[in-house]
A and B are shown apart, each in its own frame.
Chain A
Amino acid sequence: MSNISLRALLLLLLAGNAFADDVLHLYNWNNYISAETVARFEAQCACRVVQDYYSDNEEMLAKLAAGATGYDIIVPTGNAMESLIRQQALRPLDKSKLPNLKNINPAYLDTAFDPGNRFSVPYAYTLTLLGYNVEKMHELGLPTDTWAVIFEPEYLVKVKGRVTVLDSQRELMAAALKYLGYSANDTGEAHWKQARDLIIRAKPYWAAFNASSYIKELTVGNIWLVHGYSNDIFQANLDAQKAGRKFSIASSIPKQGAVLSLDSMVLHKTGPRPDLALRFIDYMLEGSNSAELTNLIGSGNPNLDALRHIKPEIAQNPAIFPDAQHLAHLEMLRDLNRHQRRVLSRMWTEIKLR
């Protein structure tokens, strides 16, 4: 353990003993906040932050649906947040307590999920894009700016068994739909079938549907090309550099467009401390605090004030901070209704069995 995080831990323990009464319950993604950020907040508010983690939205929604209560802050992705809003599970924000809200890039405000941001404050975003072994792609002469490289057999023959795609119905369908020129949120059954056939045709060339171990497989060089999340690919490259590999891992946004997942902080109705929660949100809206996460995991950052605190190699990475042209092609996934979910699940079963 590094000296800094050791100190942070110590601070955490001390804070825990001293101010046991004021507790903020944060339900967040795994590894989605820096320990130093939390420790500083605890010192500032003289309170204790108790964290609980999830690794996907469904897990979080399932836990809440099963009756979990007492979380002050949750950090869901757009579509999951939308369903929480429609379930009336969230508390409207008192924006007079959030002076730092002005730091957020207006492009990430007023989304279709929460018009007018009555309930949510953008936290960070992830892009679903192509990650690849730079040297291998170059050696094989494969393009890295198009989804064709994971869907078209003419390219795939060169990387057979070295490609993984996300084990996520929505994300993979979105990539296929984007490649076919449709919206990622297209729900027309004819278009879905076209996307399904595209996936089934490409499947024999893929090694696996994978949503977690592809980071490690990229790092060790077993897998050369992935359909994955920008944070994960950033992590894979860090690990590869740390291990002194002779290759690097990079990511790129395909020209057809990709999925952007915006995670926002929301207040859950059952949270006992909305006052502390608002203080925490405003604290996270300070550029320096927000930047800490981006510097740690390479997440996209909707906070304009954070940019000056972000390491230049991250701030200048077009696959983390896309230019206007790429930004225009990014889409956030909307929630599906129950009928669509069942139809998609059936297609997914077919994809996996064929």
Chain B
Amino acid sequence: MSSFARKLFSHARLAKWAVSGPPFVFLLLFFVLPGAIMVIASFRYPGEFGGLAPLTAADPGTLQGFTLETYRFFFSDFIYTEIFIKSFLVALATTLLCLIMAYPLALLIARSPKKSRDFMVLLVILPFASSFLIRVYAWMILLGPQAALSQIVNGLLGALGIAPVQLLFSPFAVLISMVYVHLPFMVLPLYTNLEKHDPSLLDAAQDCGANAWRRFWQVTFPLSLPGVFSGSTLVFIPVLGMFAIPDILGGTGDMLVGNLIKEQFLGTRDWPFGSTLSIMLTIAVLLFVWIAAKLGSTRGRYV
């Protein structure tokens, strides 16, 4: 009996390892380890040709060993904090716009007949079938000065006596494309959440005399908060690190922190400072997630 139990136990343990082992190893190799390398790199000097300066050099005159220089450089100038704040504002605006657009859509899908639901979800994820870059380049054409959109907008502005505006290469182009690319990441978690709501709760609320407005704000919305938070996280974090969209669609002032980090590793060949910026960004994101989680759990308590 006992040996059978042991066998079962070891089998269960084995199964557990077989299931959780590969993702664990994956995270260790491709998240924890690179993260550690990045932390170490941020405390070193940049190499003359890129990469890192050696830890020990024969010539005492050359830069070697560890230093706090990149952190001092980061805090010596407000400009880096400024670019963080700007990136956070863009990410926040994108998240809010996505939420406002995704919520009604997710609700609509969740309340549709079961048969059409899957099809509608398929439509939401359909854009993923083509490459991200191609979709961003498509916006270049849509927003170009000769495109219908620009013609209509500038026609209307002209009628009102306002000077024509340029849509392409502008903060507007960056924002619209950010929202477009990340919208499915908001719709899907919201839909999965809303779909699980028990319709009898709404019936009960109606029986108690709550109108549609109150039913939404006091039943549906509080219950959907986990979906709102996970959707917001899925949008906010990638937008914060995005560099391709500002590169392609942005104007002369649309640098975000993602662009700055990319530039440290390519053009400037300053790995330590790039690492420092990445670490600062990670800390800022973790702080954001922590605050969001706190907010989520305190709100949850009132439900």
Contacting residues of chain A (287-316) with chain B, CB-CB under 8 angstroms: none
Residues of chain B within 8 A of A207, CB atoms compared: 166, 168-169, 251-252
Contacting residues of chain B (69-127) with chain A, CB-CB under 8 angstroms: 73, 77, 79-80, 82-83, 86
Kindly state whether residue A107 has any CB partner on chain B within 8 Å: no
Kindly state whether residue A227 has any CB partner on chain B within 8 Å: no
Kindly state whether residue A30 has any CB partner on chain B within 8 Å: no
Please tell me if the beta carbons of B266 and A59 are within 8 angstroms of each other in the complex: yes
Please tell me if the beta carbons of A349 and B48 are within 8 angstroms of each other in the complex: no
In whole Å, how far is A346's beta carbon from the nearest beta carbon of chain B? 7
Kindly state whether residue A350 has any CB partner on chain B within 8 Å: yes
Q: Mark A331-354, 1 if CB is under 8 A from B, else 0.
A: 000000110011011101110111
Given known A203-B252, A208-B169, A353-B79, contact A342–B268 (CB-CB < 8 A): yes
Residues of chain A within 8 A of B252, CB atoms compared: 203-204, 206-209, 352
Kindly state whether residue B161 has any CB partner on chain A within 8 Å: no
In whole Å, how far is B243's beta carbon from the nearest beta carbon of chain A? 12
Please tell me if the beta carbons of B83 and A349 are within 8 angstroms of each other in the complex: yes
What count of chain B residues pass the 8 Å CB interface test? 41
Residues of chain A within 8 A of B145, CB atoms compared: 222
- Compute how far the CA of A220 lies from the CA of B46 in the bound complex, rounded to whole angstroms: 43
Please tell me if the beta carbons of A87 and B146 are within 8 angstroms of each other in the complex: no
What count of chain A residues pass the 8 Å CB interface test? 38
Kindly state whether residue B281 has any CB partner on chain A within 8 Å: no
- Compute how far the CA of A220 lies from the CA of B147 in the bound complex, rounded to whole angstroms: 12
20 cross-chain CB contacts under 8 A: A58-B267, A62-B269, A87-B49, A169-B268, A206-B252, A207-B169, A207-B251, A208-B169, A208-B251, A210-B169, A222-B145, A222-B168, A341-B269, A342-B270, A342-B273, A345-B264, A345-B270, A349-B79, A349-B80, A353-B86
Residues of chain B within 8 A of A348, CB atoms compared: 263
Q: Mark B248-281, 1 if CB is under 8 A from A, else 0.
A: 1011111100011001111111100100000000
In whole Å, how far is B154's beta carbon from the nearest beta carbon of chain A? 12
In whole Å, how far is A171's beta carbon from the nearest beta carbon of chain B? 11
- List 20 extra interface pairs beyond A341-B270, A345-B273, A348-B263, CB under 8 A: A58-B267, A59-B266, A61-B49, A62-B265, A62-B266, A83-B49, A161-B166, A203-B252, A204-B252, A208-B169, A208-B251, A220-B144, A220-B146, A222-B145, A338-B45, A341-B269, A342-B73, A345-B268, A349-B79, A349-B260
Residue of B46, B166, B255, B269 touching A352 (CB-CB under 8 A): B255
Please tell me if the beta carbons of B49 and A65 are within 8 angstroms of each other in the complex: yes
- Compute how far the CA of A354 lies from the CA of B45 in the bound complex, rounded to whole angstroms: 29
Closest to B137 in A: A213
Kindly state whether residue A168 has any CB partner on chain B within 8 Å: yes
Q: Mark A42-60, 1 if CB is under 8 A from B, else 0.
A: 0000000000000010110
